Structure 1
Amino acid sequence: MDLRAGRFDGQMTDDAAAFSSSIEFDKRIFEADINCNRAHTTMLIEEEIIPKESGEKILKTLDKLEKEGLSALNLDPSFEDIHMALEDYVTKEIGPEAGFMHTAKSRNDQVCTDIRLTLKNEIENTIINIKSFINTIVEMAKENTHTLFIAYTHLQHAQPTTFAHHLMAYANELRRDCERLIDTYKRVDMSPLGSAALTTTGFPINRDRTAELLGFSQVMDNSIDGVSSRDFAAEAIFDYAMLSTTLGKISDEIVIWSSYEFRMVECSNQYSSTSSIMPQKKNPDIAELSRGKSTIAYGELMTVLAMIKGIPHSYNRDLQEVTPHLWNAIDNTNDILGIVHGMLSTLTINKERTEELAGANFATATELADVIVREKELPFRTAHRIVGRIVSDAIEEGVTTNDIDNDYVNKVAKEVTGEPLDLGEELVNQALDPLKNVKSRTVKGGCAPGAVEESIQNMEKFLKE
């Protein structure tokens, strides 16, 4: 029986029915649709809008369907969506009384409610997984507060740091990704149920009651907004796109660090492959794929923004096409999250190599300039000019950081300013030593072990919230 046979005598062609059907991606909201109908029917019974006996039959049938699962539904494309398939199931079980289930309810508000219910669960699960990843990073950082590492700007040697300090940069980025989802959750956690087609209903329904039964924190204030808004979906996709950006950045650095030229880390064999022709190769394929797949959510975001921009209020069928892009962005990002979590946690750090790089290529030059400012009260720009000249002369003469002493500094300073600095061997050596350099960065957020430990403690507080 066509549940909407009242308006048209004829039926859609098969290709038109298949084209308009959302059955395939509606499978995602199956459980939410049962819960939505259950809550709405319960409210209708309580408000004495439908006969109690009929309502209880509907509830009993919904319980039966929940136990049987999605496979119990007729998922033929002739049904436009999961809502019609579910109503068809109930109708076959109890007959025309099933029609009471749709009293004071439209598919317009029903699908919005289902999407929001499902998205709430998705966001909750992603938050749990992000926090799990952060916790792994924190534990890795605890073990590497003294592991020298090199920090880059423009992918060029910049300053020495520690592996723990770099790891905690990841942790803080992931924390913001998590906080964005937490904030978005507030705007998803609003019930549109009861908006009906767009102007609510003449039946005396209790929207607060259905919101309570479904676990929503509030009811949406405007029924037109209730059925037509999809900004919450776009916002969620943006959050997943930003999370993908963080994960792509981690993947990109793993690709770089594991190369022969850098040799800072080695990927686990579990996340690597070899060449089909070059037997010596160990390729970071999984990191590369993660980096590549991290762009998928961007495309989904742009698609959804374009969809919701050019349509009038209130419900338009275009909105049906939003949800596949929402679910794809979520699924893809969650896959990357799990992969990058496992990949980072199984990295092997080449500590000898990272220590070598931390002290190479004059990475400690900034500290030497700072020492000149502190000890000789020279303007930083003057100190910057002196140290810049020291580096350029050293490179030209084939001199390394280890060869720069107090006499070398005095020679250059005299050429630049006309006066020697006389810092002394101890201060020059201390400024140019990468480990001492790192330990001097005690400012909040810095790379000194104590500063990183404070950052770790702050992150652990967040994880316990």
Structure 2
Amino acid sequence: MNLRSGRFKGRMTSDAASYTSSLEFDHRIFGADIKCNLAHTLMLQEEGIISPEDAQAIIKALKTLEEDGLEALELDPSVEDIHMAVENYVTRRIGEKAGFMHTAKSRNDQVATDLRIALKEEILVIMEGLVTFIQDIVEMAQGNLETLMVGYTHLQHAQPTTFAHHLLSYSQALKRDYQRLEDAYKRVDLCPLGAAALTTTSFPINRERTAQLLGFSQILENSLDAVSSRDFITETVAALALLGITLSRICEELIIWSSYEFGLLEIGDEYSSTSSIMPQKKNPDVAEVARAKATSIQGELVTILSVTKALPQSYNRDLQEVTPHLWKATDTARDTLQLVHEMLSSVKFNQKRGAELAAANFSTATELADLMVREKQLPFRVAHQIVGRVVSTALEEGLRPDEITSHFLDQISLEVIGEALDIGEELVEKALNPLEVVRSREVPGGPAPIMVQECIQNLKNWMKNK
């Protein structure tokens, strides 16, 4: 069928047809297009708009195509898109009565419906992957409740924490990524079918019925909005871009921590490569590529925003160019999520190195200042000043944190505030012990094993309903 034969005298040039065709990426909505046509045709029959005989012939042909697959279509650029290719297939099988399936339906509402059907499936797959990733992180954390490491701010030693506590920071970020997709799904789960080209139709169609048949929660109430809105795509890709940032940050830390200078962990060999000239190298190639691919989703988002930012209502062919960027974003997010998940699960954490870094470079200094506040009722800023001087003096004299004594504190406090603190040696030693510091952080969200265990249980409870 040549769609142009009624209005135009000739065909598009082959270059123009290829340039405007969407067939290259329409395969993504092949299954959705069949579902859409099946639901619409069944509704037309139920409402008495087309005869049962014609409807059943169309439905039988569509189901045959569903079984035969995409290969059964004639995918010629002159056909323009998958919708016409499907209609042409049905026409070849049952003749001109195939055209009845397009009654009260336009490609405008059809493509919008197809996209939503296919995108819902993609979102659910990614959400499932997120839950599985969080589950595995939780299991890793469970086994590392007292595995010491140092926490960083500005990439400088800050305070002691545990590997479990750090891992759960990933799980919380991924949980929010899940929630953003879960929320975006609600806006995707609205049915445009029945809006037709832009103002619905004079046929007495039942939009609620097709929405029900296609598994949508409700219809889009305004037909102009139904065919022209693509904010459901923008919102989804925005959520995926944020997921990409989460994954990229995880990759960044795996890359840094696996370096000789940090030596905190080793990535599995199956996610590493070596050098073509330096045989000793173990390069975190998968993490590096994932770091780049994950952030490329931001580029897809910017393109989508740019295409849609100034379009008049209602449908414009520009919207066709949004679709490939949507699928690139979903593919990249899904694949990167899976690989980062597998790669993080392969990691071996160096507990000895973690404890060494936690004990070095005065990461326990805050607790020492807190000790002065608790025991001597000093204002925190005064305690901060004393401990700052303790650290600078110790560094000048080459003293380690575990070599700081009560007597040393008294010497410094005499210089700073003119009096000795006289804090017991045992209390000073405990305040400077990274594991004791971690155990003392029994505030919700803190690294104390009891608090981390509580966070783990909360995550498990959340995942039970997903």
Which bin holds the TM-score, normalised by the shorter protein?
over 0.9
Q: Which residue of 2 aligns with 1:183?
A: 183
How far did residue 363 of structure 1 move? 0.4
Residue type of the alignment partner of 2:140: M
How far did residue 310 of structure 1 move? 1.5
Q: Which residue of 2 aligns with 1:227?
A: 227
Counterparts of residues 25-424 of structure 1 (less than 5 Å): 25-424=25-424
Residue type of the alignment partner of 2:226: G
| Partner Cα distance (1:213, 1:197) in 2 | 21
How far did residue 302 of structure 1 move? 0.3
Residue type of the alignment partner of 2:371: V
Deviations 1:211-268 (A, max 9, x none): 0000000000100000000000000001111001000000000000000000000011
| Partner Cα distance (1:168, 1:267) in 2 | 19
How far did residue 4 of structure 1 move? 4.1
Deviations 1:408-461 (A, max 9, x none): 011101110001111110110000000000000000000000000000011111
Task: Say which SS state the counterpart of residue 152 (structure 1) adopts.
Answer: strand
| Partner Cα distance (2:206, 2:284) in 1 | 56
Question: Does the aligned pair in 1 maintain the 2:2–2:79 contact within 8 Å?
Answer: no
Q: Which residue of 1 aligns with 2:435?
A: 435
Question: Does the aligned pair in 1 maintain the 2:4–2:11 contact within 8 Å?
Answer: no
| Partner Cα distance (1:28, 1:461) in 2 | 35
Question: Does the aligned pair in 2 maintain the 1:272–1:282 contact within 8 Å?
Answer: yes
How far did residue 462 of structure 1 move? 1.2
Question: Does the aligned pair in 2 maintain the 1:3–1:88 contact within 8 Å?
Answer: no
| Partner Cα distance (2:331, 2:184) in 1 | 18
Flag as ranges the 4+ runs of structure 1 deviating above 6 A.
Answer: none
Deviations 1:51-110 (A, max 9, x none): 110011000001100000010011111111000000000000000000000000000000
Residue type of the alignment partner of 1:166: H
Query: What TM-score do you get using the length of structure 2 for normalisation?
Result: 0.99
**Gaps spanning 5+ residues in structure 2: where?**
none
| Partner Cα distance (2:333, 2:209) in 1 | 35
| Partner Cα distance (2:286, 2:26) in 1 | 31
Residue type of the alignment partner of 1:410: D
Residue type of the alignment partner of 1:140: M
Residue type of the alignment partner of 1:332: T
Residue type of the alignment partner of 2:318: D
Question: Does the aligned pair in 1 maintain the 2:23–2:75 contact within 8 Å?
Answer: yes
Q: Which residue of 2 aligns with 1:446?
A: 446
Question: Does the aligned pair in 2 maintain the 1:364–1:433 contact within 8 Å?
Answer: yes
Task: Say which SS state the counterpart of residue 78 (structure 1) adopts.
Answer: helix
Query: What TM-score do you get using the length of structure 1 for normalisation?
Result: 0.99
How far did residue 3 of structure 1 move? 3.5
| Partner Cα distance (1:38, 1:349) in 2 | 54
How far did residue 199 of structure 1 move? 0.3
| Partner Cα distance (2:343, 2:29) in 1 | 32
**Gaps spanning 5+ residues in structure 1: where?**
none
| Partner Cα distance (1:247, 1:287) in 2 | 9
| Partner Cα distance (1:398, 1:121) in 2 | 61
| Partner Cα distance (2:442, 2:271) in 1 | 36
| Partner Cα distance (2:414, 2:238) in 1 | 56
Question: Does the aligned pair in 1 maintain the 2:364–2:433 contact within 8 Å?
Answer: yes
Percent sequence identity is 60
How far did residue 397 of structure 1 move? 1.0
- Count matched residues: 465
| Partner Cα distance (2:66, 2:231) in 1 | 30
Task: Say which SS state the counterpart of residue 63 (structure 1) adopts.
Answer: helix
| Partner Cα distance (2:206, 2:4) in 1 | 26
Question: Does the aligned pair in 1 maintain the 2:150–2:357 contact within 8 Å?
Answer: yes
How far did residue 5 of structure 1 move? 1.9
Residue type of the alignment partner of 1:358: A
How far did residue 149 of structure 1 move? 1.1
| Partner Cα distance (2:352, 2:447) in 1 | 19
